[in-house]
Amino acid sequence: MTKIRAKDRNALIQSLRAGVVPRVGQHLIQVGRMREIEELVKDIERIAEGGSTFRLVTGEYGSGKTFFLNLIRSIAFEKKLVTAHADLSPDRRLHATGGQARSLYAELMRNLSTRARPDGGALPGVIQKFVATAKNEAKAQCTDTELVIHRKLESLSEMVNGYDFATVIAAYCRGFEEGNEQLQSDAVRWMRGEFSTKTDAKSALGVRTFVDDASVYDQLKLFSRFVRLAGYSGLLINLDEMVNLYKLANTQARNANYEQILRILNDSLQGTVEGLGIVMGGTPEFLMDTRRGLYSYAALQSRLAENTFAQGDLVDLTGPVMQLTSLTPEDFYVLLDKLHHAFAFGDKSQYLLPQNAYKVFMDHCHKRIGEAYFRTPRTTIKAFVDLLAVLEQNPGTKWQSLLGQIDIQADNGDVEMEGFTDTHTSDMNGNSDNELTHFKL
């Protein structure tokens, strides 16, 4: 295996020890859920062909929803998609009247990413790519660049705020050609949703509209078309922590947000938007609670209901709702091996544990926590990485003696790990190197 750079390894391990999803190196520890990934890849291909998709990914806290969403983002980059992601919070919602929806839009634009800029801040680059393409076409046709821009953006005029959108892009191009950095900055600020009054927008850019709470979704639909005109395949939006809508105490505010989800769902499944995919992450309660969840909104319940024929071991991954399956014991074994490999910088000579230690660790987790640790592996992973950290910093320490001192906080309370007998030290059959599975496009 290829050795892992210290920068990538350290970022990955620090995130896992803190119990948060790593921003880099997800591919180093990805295991299982291949069928779910394959379905999302089909969605990405549909977006790249000019279609639209909607997915609600559900799973318990710590089950890997955020990790899964980040993995899909990295795959989208390979298909030349632009991505945007944001976590919902009390200050960020899909629908609001006090600026919370605009705050969500601003966060999405701040996190706008491309393959060249995977960590966000890609909005100016996307605009510049569009302007550069227009300039090349204008040069080839011996015509004015702004005229080409308006012609390319003519299809947006039929959409809400489409004409003003084109005007702002033309203003950016004008500022680019004239070396007017203030005009370029104002155009980017408008695109980011940073204008809050019509007066400011009119003074800076000559448009009478700005991105407010009521126009957030319409602006995203505009932007999905724009990125395709700029040469990208489409726009993928990841919205995590949707459970914050479920927590809204005000029934009217909660239903208004659910109505916005219904609008997004209808547009996506009816094909009325172009090049836009939206993936939302939430808990089963957010979906199925008939009092406060999505199922409390009758129109959504009928559209998001499970396939009644998919029972037992049968699954249907083509619907709008995707329930993350639990990791199997085999998946978990491979995951521990990948964690160990990453911790050792990809160098087997630096391994701190024998492979039979994985089985010991898993057996005890299974006996003390039960099947839940396969569904919500976050705390177990954290404990395993903590074990490796102690072994690394204390050479000569026996791993058998440390296992009895690890506490794993499960969903049902604190579980104290005790010592193990020799009957738990049997190794698993097969070479784990051959069991490591990597998703390839």
Structure tokens at 43: 């969605």
Q: Tell me: the pLDDT tens digits for 262-305?
A: 999 999 989 889 999 999 999 999 999 999 999 999 999 999 99
pLDDT of residue 411: 42
pLDDT of residue 128: 92
Confidence of residue 1 (pLDDT cuts 50, 70, 90): low
Give 2-11's long-range contacts (Cβ < 8 A, gap of 24+): 2/346, 3/345, 3/346, 3/347, 4/28, 4/341, 4/342, 4/345, 4/346, 6/345, 9/342, 9/343, 9/345, 9/346
Residue 419 lies in a domain: yes
Q: Tell me: the pLDDT tens digits for 312-333?
A: 778 888 889 998 877 777 888 8
| Residues 300 and 162 occupy one common structural domain | no
Q: Which of the listed residues 189, 205, 221 is the one where a domain comes to its end?
A: 205
- Residue 321 and residue 282 in contact, taking contact as beta carbons nearer than 8 Å: no
> Cα(366)–Cα(34) distance, rounded to whole angstroms?
23
- Domain count within the chain: 3
For 53, other C-beta atoms within 10 Å of its C-beta total: 21
Residue 3 lies in a domain: no
How many angstroms separate the Cα of 314 from the Cα of each of 37, 42, 52, 307? 17, 20, 26, 10
pLDDT of residue 153: 85
Closest-CA residue to 369 (of 380, 378, 358): 380
| Residues 93 and 143 occupy one common structural domain | no
> Cα(387)–Cα(405) distance, rounded to whole angstroms?
10
pLDDT of residue 374: 57
Contacts of residue 293, defined as CB under 8 A and 6 or more positions apart, other chains included, come to: 246, 285, 286, 287
| Residues 311 and 389 occupy one common structural domain | no
196 or 407, higher pLDDT: 196
Q: Tell me: the pLDDT tens digits for 82-134?
A: 999 999 999 999 999 999 999 999 999 999 999 999 989 999 999 999 988 88
Q: Tell me: the pLDDT tens digits for 392-424?
A: 999 888 888 877 655 554 443 333 333 333 333
Which range has the top average pLDDT, 192-206, 368-382, 424-438? 192-206
For 314, other C-beta atoms within 10 Å of its C-beta total: 8
| Residues 108 and 162 occupy one common structural domain | no
- Residue 90 and residue 244 in contact, taking contact as beta carbons nearer than 8 Å: yes
287 or 19, higher pLDDT: 287
pLDDT of residue 24: 75
Listing DSSP states for 74-110 in one string gives HHHHHTTEEEEEEE-BTTB-SS-SSSHHHHHHHHHHH
Residue 2 lies in a domain: no
Confidence of residue 370 (pLDDT cuts 50, 70, 90): low
- Residue 438 and residue 74 in contact, taking contact as beta carbons nearer than 8 Å: no
- Residue 114 and residue 232 in contact, taking contact as beta carbons nearer than 8 Å: yes
Structure tokens at 323: 């329930």
- Residue 186 and residue 163 in contact, taking contact as beta carbons nearer than 8 Å: no
* Cα dihedral sign, 42-44-49-51: positive
Least confident segment among 148-152, 213-217, 340-344: 148-152
| Residues 316 and 345 occupy one common structural domain | no
> Cα(182)–Cα(165) distance, rounded to whole angstroms?
18
Structure tokens at 263: 């609008």
| Residues 241 and 381 occupy one common structural domain | no
Quote the distance between the C-alpha of residue 113 and its chain's center: 11
Write the CATH number for 246: 3.40.50
Q: Which of the listed residues 162, 187, 205 is the one where a domain comes to its end?
A: 205
Helix (H) or strand (E) segment spanning residue 55: strand 52-58
| Residues 199 and 256 occupy one common structural domain | no
- List the domain range (segments joined by +) for residue 129: 124-205
Residue 350 lies in a domain: yes
| Residues 424 and 370 occupy one common structural domain | yes
Residue 132 lies in a domain: yes
Q: Residue 432 half-sphere exposure, CB side, CA atoms within 13 Å?
A: 21
Q: Is the pLDDT of residue 191 over 50?
A: yes
| Residues 199 and 152 occupy one common structural domain | yes
> Cα(34)–Cα(438) distance, rounded to whole angstroms?
9
Residue with tokens 């706008």: 112
Residue 50 lies in a domain: yes
Listing DSSP states for 157-201 in one string gives TTSTTHHHHHHHHHHHHHHHHHT-HHHHHHHHHHHTT----HHHH
Q: Is the pLDDT of residue 260 over 60?
A: yes
pLDDT of residue 436: 35
Residue 220 lies in a domain: no
Residue 268 lies in a domain: yes
Q: Which of the listed residues 323, 348, 379 is the one where a domain comes to its end?
A: 323
Structure tokens at 287: 């979906």
> Cα(208)–Cα(308) distance, rounded to whole angstroms?
50
Mean pLDDT along residues 158-166: 87
| Residues 105 and 245 occupy one common structural domain | yes
Helix (H) or strand (E) segment spanning residue 114: none
| Residues 145 and 275 occupy one common structural domain | no
Closest-CA residue to 22 (of 30, 14, 33): 14
* Whole-number average pLDDT of the chain: 84
| Residues 168 and 83 occupy one common structural domain | no
323 - beta bridge partners?
58
Q: Tell me: the pLDDT tens digits for 28-81?
A: 888 877 888 899 999 999 999 999 999 999 988 777 788 889 889 989 999 999
Closest-CA residue to 32 (of 284, 313, 377, 360): 377
pLDDT of residue 371: 56
Closest-CA residue to 137 (of 125, 151, 157): 151
> What is the C-alpha radius of gyration for the chain, rounded to an integer number of angstroms?
25
